[in-house]
Every structure is written in C-alpha cells, then in structure tokens.
Structure 1
Amino acid sequence: MERNMNPNTSLVLEAVDLLKRVDGVDGELTILQQISFSVGAGETVAVVGESGSGKSTLLGLLAGLDVPSSGTVKLRGTDLFLLNEDDRARMRGEALGFVFQSFQLLPALTALENVMMPLELAGRRDPTPVANRWLDRVGLSHRVGHYPKHLSGGEQQRVALARAFAVQPAVLLADEPTGNLDAATGLQIADLMFDMNREAGTTLVLVTHDERLAARCSRVIRLAAGQLLSDTLAAAA
C-alpha cells in the first residue's frame, strides 16, 4: 500500500512490516498483519478502527512498550528493537509524550508532582518552574497541589496533557484521550490538545474510534482485523 506521508515533511516515525501474534486459547492469534507507514515531523495522524482492530497494540509497538513478532519501528531514524530495554526507555523519555484514556496519573503525587516526574527522569534541573508553566497553560495553576482523586476527569486529562508536553516530545502518542469524558469536556480537551500540539510543532499520532476527532487530523489510517485498510491525507493537508 502506498504510504501517504506528506512529502514536504521530514520522517520522524516509521512502522516497517509490523506483525504481532499472541498465544490464544485456540492457538496463535494474529493481532497485526504487516503494517507499514511513515509519519513526517509535525503531522497529525489518526489511527481509527473498531474495537479489536489492533489500534492500541499498534500504539504500544510504536512506543516500544511492546515487541513485535516481526518487523520494526524506527523513531527519528533509530530502530527501537535493535536497542535494549533500558535504551528504549531512555529514548521514550527523550522523544515521546503519552496521553491515555484512563489518564494514568500517579495517585500519590500532586498535579505538580505528576508533571514534574518525567522532567526529573530526563534529568532536568528546573522541573518545578517548567511544570508550573505547563499547568498554567492547561488552566490548572490553581490546582497544582491537588491529588488526582480531587480532580475531575477533565482536570486529570489536562494534567496528563501538561505532563506529556512538558518534556517537549518529538511525538505525542494519544490513546482515546477523550474516551472517558463526557461530550462537552471531551471537546474542550480535544481543542486544548490540538492547540498545544500546533503551538509546540509536535507530531501527533492519535488512536480513536471517534470519527469527528479523527477528522481533525491531517491524515487518517484505518485498521480492521489487524490489517491496514487505508492511509489517506486530508484534502487540506
């Protein structure tokens, strides 16, 4: 299948013949079948498909959090699966930001501490002012000392966005970022995410089943039963 990366952008992420199989009760189960595509710097790419189509598995492989049965992923030209686990983790910390459907905030840390954590892991010497700036950017400067259990779902996802962008990632990976939110709050979070992504010039790979959210991306990759059905640039891209 033709790869529809915008030719005017430089390559930042590449999936190469990704195959993922797992053992099931009735034998080996194929989750992804020979998935290949490239993503250019600054692109916004939606990966869409029904439940069970392989979207989240693909995202885990792109992040190097899971290992393919065959094929590979290249992040900024580096083959993730030629690296050992520690080096993959180091590259994730340097190049990737994550936003999850379930927020994935650490409950024992305040909003400020949750945003500071990846900065500290990256060795930043000034994590507190940086984290404060990003929490202010997402409208939570008045909630920095609150723990996740005292924040609404929308506020928790705002903290997650601040945490993801604070490390200035090359690529933001978002897995159903509005899936646990009501429609109005989800729209606010989507607006904020796209605004921040545009301001930062980050590459966005968004997994979603929401066609309206996917339509806001410049490109849509469709999966079904682990296969890549289409890879289409938006008309305005």
Structure 2
Amino acid sequence: MIRVNNLCKTVVTGGQQLDILKGISFEIKAGESVAIVGASGAGKSTLLGLLAGLDNASSGDIYLHGKNISVMDEDRRAALRARHVGFVFQSFQLLPGMTALENVMLPLELAGRPDPVGEAKQYLDKVGLAERGGHYPRVLSGGEQQRVALARAFAVEPDILFADEPTGNLDEHTGQRIVDLLFALNSQSQTTLVLVTHEMNLAERCDRILIMHDGQLREESVVSSAI
C-alpha cells in the first residue's frame, strides 16, 4: 500500500541547509494502522505531508498503490489523492464560507460522485452531526469541527487516511471522542490509517509505532494490544 525508499527532505533557511528527513525507508500494508511519534522537530509532519503528496521530497521514492508519486507533477498527485487519500489536519481546515454539509460535499463533488448531498448527510450522521449540516464552522465547537473534518475525509471512502495530530487542538474529553470515532470509522471502512501524534495512548491503539528522532526512523514497535 505504502512503500518509502531512502526518503530525504532538505530545505535552505537563513542561508543554511537544514536536513529535515535523512534517508527514511519503511512499508505499510493495506489496512494497517500506524502511528508516527517523536519529539517536536523530529520531522513527523513533514514526513506525513510527503506521504500524502502534499509536498515534494528532495530525494528518494514514495509508492502509493504501486505508483511512484515522487516522479509525478502536482496535477497527477492531486488526481491520485482524490481517488485514494483522505487527510485530517490538526487545524481542521474547513472552508469558513461553506456549511458543514457543503464542506463534506466538496470532495464528493470533485470526485464526480452521483449523490454528494446524500452521501455527505450519511457521513455527518455517522459522526453525530446530522442536525448541524446547515451550520458554518464559526458556530461549531472544536470537537464538532474535527468531526466534520473526519466526515469529509471518510466520505470519499479513501484507501489511505493520513491524520496530523488529530486531537492536538481539543480538550481531553473531546479528543477521546474523536479518537474513538477515528478508529471506529477506520475499522468500518478497512482504511489504512497513518497518523502523527505526540500522545502515546493514541499511538498504542495502532498496529505499529514508528519512532522518529532528528529526521531519522530510529525504532519501530508492534503494539500487541492494538484495538
């Protein structure tokens, strides 16, 4: 499902070269749930963005569904994302001028689905927001906004879901509800789940944990009690 070979990411800042990722390699099987953990600045979010095709690597290869996205231009990567990938951001990334229903409808419309309204309502109902479809993000709580973001990500039934600190802006109680919902939807859809988190209780719900340090993959562990 996902294969990464000798991935590197380098940027130049203040006239100095900064190596964010240093030769990372790993594989993730279809249907697996994998957490990427590590200290702030370890390169976790950069890696996730590269895996999702939201940024370009400096060198190395990333294969999604057997296709090397590292050699694709942005249009081809966008087309692949539309067919196979969902993304949940820490900051929700809902469009403020659209209602909750319209936010969930958008990727369905872009994918050319025949009934975007019906499908969007179905997923809002799954996240417990059937009655909030006509509300704009500004009147929704943080937990409600994240639930809309989850509905939007899952509505297109992606093969792979990437989540970047999905509970980072939420209180503990709301965050736990979002985590439970994330894994419930993942289980129902048999979606490959790759998430970045600093919360070990969340990471330990995944099948595997990849530990990053200073831009390198230092350790990998299998979680025997994964839920």
Instruction: Compute the TM-score of the two structures, normalised by the length of structure 2.
Output: 0.98
1:184–1:236 Cα change, 3 Å: closer
1:169 aligns with 2:158: yes
2:112 match: secondary structure? coil
1:68 aligns with 2:57: yes
- For residue 16 of structure 1, report the CA deviation from its aligned partner: 1.2
- For residue 236 of structure 1, report the CA deviation from its aligned partner: 4.3
Partner residue, 2:104: 115
- For residue 161 of structure 1, report the CA deviation from its aligned partner: 0.5
Give the partner amino acid of 1:164: A
1:219 alignment partner, one of 208, 211, 217: 208
Number of aligned positions between the proteins:
226
Distance in 2, matches of 1:199 and 1:64, equals 25
1:102 match: secondary structure? coil
1:27 aligns with 2:16: yes
- For residue 82 of structure 1, report the CA deviation from its aligned partner: 2.1
Distance in 2, matches of 1:41 and 1:156, equals 28
Distance in 2, matches of 1:74 and 1:159, equals 29
1:48 match: secondary structure? strand
Partner residue, 1:189: 178
Deviates more, 1:128-137 or 1:117-126: 117-126
1:145 aligns with 2:134: yes
- For residue 47 of structure 1, report the CA deviation from its aligned partner: 0.1
Q: 1:99-130: CA deviations, max 9, x gaps? A: 11100000000000000000011111210000
- For residue 235 of structure 1, report the CA deviation from its aligned partner: 2.1
Instruction: Compute the TM-score of the two structures, normalised by the length of structure 1.
Output: 0.94
State the 4+ residue runs in structure 1 displaced beyond 4 angstroms: none
Partner residue, 1:106: 95
1:222–1:104 Cα change, 3 Å: same
1:59 aligns with 2:48: yes
- For residue 138 of structure 1, report the CA deviation from its aligned partner: 0.3
Distance in 2, matches of 1:67 and 1:189, equals 30
Deviates more, 1:132-141 or 1:26-35: 26-35
Partner residue, 1:6: none
Distance in 2, matches of 1:213 and 1:197, equals 14
Unaligned runs of 5+ residues in structure 2 are none
- For residue 26 of structure 1, report the CA deviation from its aligned partner: 5.0
Partner residue, 2:122: 133
2:107 match: secondary structure? helix
2:26 match: secondary structure? strand
Identity percentage of aligned residues: 58
Distance in 2, matches of 1:47 and 1:200, equals 21
1:124 aligns with 2:113: yes
State whether residues 165 and 198 of structure 2, in contact with CA within 8 Å, keep that contact through their aligned partners in structure 1. yes
Partner residue, 1:97: 86
- For residue 134 of structure 1, report the CA deviation from its aligned partner: 0.2
Deviates more, 1:24-33 or 1:141-150: 24-33
State whether residues 205 and 223 of structure 2, in contact with CA within 8 Å, keep that contact through their aligned partners in structure 1. no
Structure 1 residues 225-236: aligned runs within 5 Å: 225-236=214-225
Distance in 1, matches of 2:223 and 2:85, equals 24
Q: 1:5-46: CA deviations, max 9, x gaps? A: xxxxxxx11111100000022510100000111000110000
